[in-house]
Structure 1
Amino acid sequence: MPRLLFGLGLIVIILTVYALVDCALFDRSRIRGLPRWVWIFVIILVPVIGPLLWLFVGRGRKRAPVGRMPRASAPDDDPEFLRGLDREKKERERIRLLEEQLAKLDDPEAGPGTPSQPNKPGQPGTAGSADASGVDPKKSDPGEGDLPGRRDA
């Protein structure tokens, strides 16, 4: 009789340790019924029934049967994908507008300060104009406007 009790006790300990380790390492999305920490307490505090409950109730099955691939959805069924397309479209439009503005700045006939249209003193944003302090920004910094034919100065 003591051998039988020792054998049953050893089986219960092995079952409890197995269930405890399995519960601790099991994928969280597949645990059913209770949170993981509650299952660990049940396995430890209820000697035989706790591990058996974990093995038969708490462990969830795999989502897809073995050998079958999960069904792929079309990209236009995914709202995150559609939001990404909308962001891409807005970003492309913004880049297009910025490129148009840059092209207008580079166009020698379109903007003031180009060699074809001489600047008039006193016009804001042109060479020879003074800011509110009365100091010409082009003349105060010797590095600006030194280069002939430079349009961005």
Structure 2
Amino acid sequence: MGGFLAAIFWVYSIVDCAVQPATRHRGVPKAAWIAIVVIIPVIGGILWFTIGRRRANDSSGEIRLIAPDDDPQFLRSISKSEQDARIRRLEEELARLEDETDDGTTHDGTTPDPRP
């Protein structure tokens, strides 16, 4: 009877670990958790449920990074003229990089100005 319950728990642990999204796995990647649960039948399942599985409402350890162009606070902090000037500088730098060859000179043989 105990072996049957252990087998049921083992299968349930494998399925639960496999169907959870990767964001709900703590510590190691999803594939590693599946391997742990499969290789160490009962103990792996216990480890999965106690330390490996993050609850849906648990955001501890999760760092949410926001790119500056997606951050409304950052976008409000810069003016339209600053945005236009930054875009212009980036476009000039991109054009300069496109004109450079592998040896650091431009196609017409001159060395580009290193200042932005």
Higher relative contact order structure (alpha carbons within 8 Å, sequence separation ≥ 6) = 2
* TM-score, scaled to structure 1: 0.39
In terms of fraction of residues, the more helix-rich structure is 2
TM-score of the superposed pair, with normalisation by structure 2: 0.50
